[in-house]
Structure 1
Amino acid sequence: MTRVLLAGLCTLDILQLVEEYPAENEKVTARAQTVAAGGPATNAAATVAHLGGEPVLVTAAGRHPLAAGLHADLDRLGVHLVDLAADDAGAPPVSSIVVSAGTGNRTVVSTNGAARMLAVPDLGPLLSGVEAVQVDGHYPELATAVLTEARRRGIPALLDAGSWKPVIPSLLPLLDVVVCSADFRPPGVTGVAAFLAGHGVRWIAVSRGAEPLLRWTGDGFVEQPVPRTEVVDTLGAGDVLHGALTLAVARHWPLTDATFAEALDEAAAVATRSCASFGTRAWMSTSPLEGVRSGTEGTDQ
């Protein structure tokens, strides 16, 4: 079984599916709701487990009662959780997410865990047998330590570059693969690929939702089509992409242009499948509604 380590954010995600976004001071009844562990590294770890890999998630959950749900969800999925905040009684970061049934788009209000200061553990035992690592840029000290040790051991390293974070320039020389979203914009930079390559990153791609991926060849971008689906919910699709890609890179390493393209195809197919159902877990089930509770069974509004 391919073992990968993912380091970064873990949140409690509360999702509501609505016909239309509520107006200010308006109450609406959700069509469905679900609660799950979330965050870029966490959703990526869940994806790795579903695809038959062995994920180790290094993050902060804590011992607040709400964190029990995070532990239970990840344990059920087969994710090995290394909780660096095991003695912290504070509440975990919570994301409140409203998804439009009409478009599949979502509105997210969340905290990012920045208030927690984590002590970086001895990474030697955690990286034993690991074939790839991924960081999401949250908890900068942890990300830096993981990438530094991975580079020392010759383990391929990936970054989920969904958005710009101040720590990223110091991480780039330690990275092998960076897939960034179309919203990833380094300050004052117009050419993202040249910026990343100039910091030593060899394998680069840009995800653009339903539009083709842009894959960097070293000389320029080529378009790589992604599968089509009827979109129900795009939440977590980028995290799924990165989780599937991390596992694929581990299995294809060392990369060539051909195997990088193949790894991106594999990851894009999984991410597309995740958009066809509500929430970040239902796509993993044979039943598209597993883990989703009808919103009509709630408090009278």
Structure 2
Amino acid sequence: MTEVLLAGLCTLDVLQLVERYPADNEKVTALTQTVAAGGPATNAAATVAHLGGTATLLTAVGRHPLAAGIHADLADLGVRLIDLAADDPGPPAVSSIVVSAGTGNRAVVSTNGAARTVVPPGVLPISGDVRAVQVDGHHPELAVAVLTEARRRGIPTLLDAGSWKAVTPALLPLVDVVVCSADFRPPRDIGVADLLAGHGVRWIAVSRGAEPLLRWTGAGFTEQPVPRTTVVDTLGAGDVLHGALTLAVARRWPLTGATFAEALDEAAAVATRSCASFGTRAWMSATNQDQILPDSGPR
């Protein structure tokens, strides 16, 4: 199977589905709830494992009792967890998420990775079988170290650029593939493609929810339609997109214009499916097993 390493944030997500958001000082009863491991790199790793790849997640969880839920979820998914904070007694980052049943929109409160500093190990656990590496930038020192080592080994590198972070300028020269969200805003007046291409990024795309992806061709952006669905919950859809794309790139590397477009189509289809159910795991249910992508090996 194709092996992928993902490095970044891991949270404990507590999700509540409500008919409407509560007003100030108001209590509402959730229609349903779920608890799962979350965070961009974590949801991407879960996606890789579900689609038939081998996913290793490099992150910080710790040994607080709340970490047991994270360990159980990832073990059930088949994600190999390497915890760089295994002896830390502090709690993991917890995301409190309220999803509107009417729109599929959500409100999120979380500390993300700000509550814990992650120091990369002297020897990074990147095996010779790893075919692609993805980072989300939430643990900056770890992201730089992982990308640097992957680049040294000639492993393709991907960045989940959901938003601009202070570490972003240090990451861009180290990545081959960047997919930005529409919320990615460089701090100065420069186009996204000009910025990324100026740092040597060859494969660039912009995700825009239900709107067509924008794929950079080298001469400009071209629109790439995404599948339509009845949206129940958009939480984690971007993470799913990045996980599916990382696996697709690993199986197609080195890329061409045509295979990059194929990889984006493949990833967009998976992300769209994830929006048709509540939470970040229901789309992986047994009824969806026919959606697992076969490992065709290197291309």
TM-score band w.r.t. shorter chain: over 0.9
Aligned to 1:32: 32
State the identity as a percent: 82
TM-score, normalised by the number of residues in structure 1 = 0.94
Report the Cα distance in structure 2 between the residues aligned to 1:55 and 1:248, rounded to whole angstroms.
13
Distance 1:103 1:190 in 2: 33
Show the counterpart of 2:174.
Answer: 174
SS in 2 for 1:75: helix
The answer as to 2:160 corresponding to 1:160 is: yes
**For each residue in 1:86-126, what CA deviation from the matched residue of structure 2 results, as whole angstroms up to 9, or x when unmatched?**
00000000000000000000000001122312221244542
Contact 2:124 2:146 in 1 (8 A): no
TM-score (norm 2): 0.95
Report if the CA contact (8 A) 1:84-1:118 is conserved.
yes
Q: Which structure 2 residues correspond to residues 140-155 of structure 1 after superposition, within 5 A?
A: 140-155=140-155
CA deviation string 1:241-281 (max 9, x = no partner): 00000000000000000000000000000000000000000
1:222 matched to 2:222: yes
- Work out the CA distance in 2 between the residues paired with 1:22 and 1:125: 45
AA matched with 1:128: G
Q: Which residue of 2 aligns with 1:46?
A: 46
The answer for the alignment partner of 1:250 in structure 2 is 250
Letter in 2 for 1:19: E
C-alpha distance in 2 between matches for 1:68 and 1:108: 22
Counterpart position of 2:86: 86
Partners in 1 of 2:30 and 2:287 — Cα distance?
Answer: 20
Q: What SS class does the counterpart of residue 126 from structure 1 fall into?
A: coil
CA contact (8 A) 1:189 1:195 kept: no
The Cα of 1:127 is off from its aligned counterpart by 3.2
Structure 2: gaps spanning 5 or more residues: 289-299
**Mapped contact 2:93–2:115 kept (Cα < 8 A):** no
Consecutive unaligned residues of structure 1, counting only runs of 5 or more, are: 289-301
Matches within 5 A, 1:1-301: 1-286=1-286
Contact 2:44 2:240 in 1 (8 A): yes
The alpha-carbon deviation at position 188 of structure 1 amounts to 1.1
C-alpha RMSD of the superposition: 1.0
Cα deviation per residue 1:144-192 (whole Å; 9 max; x = unaligned)?
0000000000000000000110101011111000000000001013311
Aligned pair count reads 288
CA distance in 2, matches of 1:268, 1:253: 18
More deviation, 258-267/20-29: 20-29
Q: Give the letter for the 1:185 counterpart.
A: R
1:167 and 1:85 map into 2 onto residues whose CA distance is: 21
Structure 2: distance between partners of 1:284 and 1:170:
35
Partners of 2:48 and 2:55 within 8 A in 1: yes
Q: Distance in 2 between matches of 1:216 and 1:232?
A: 30
Change over 3 Å in CA distance of 1:142–1:31 after alignment to 2:
same
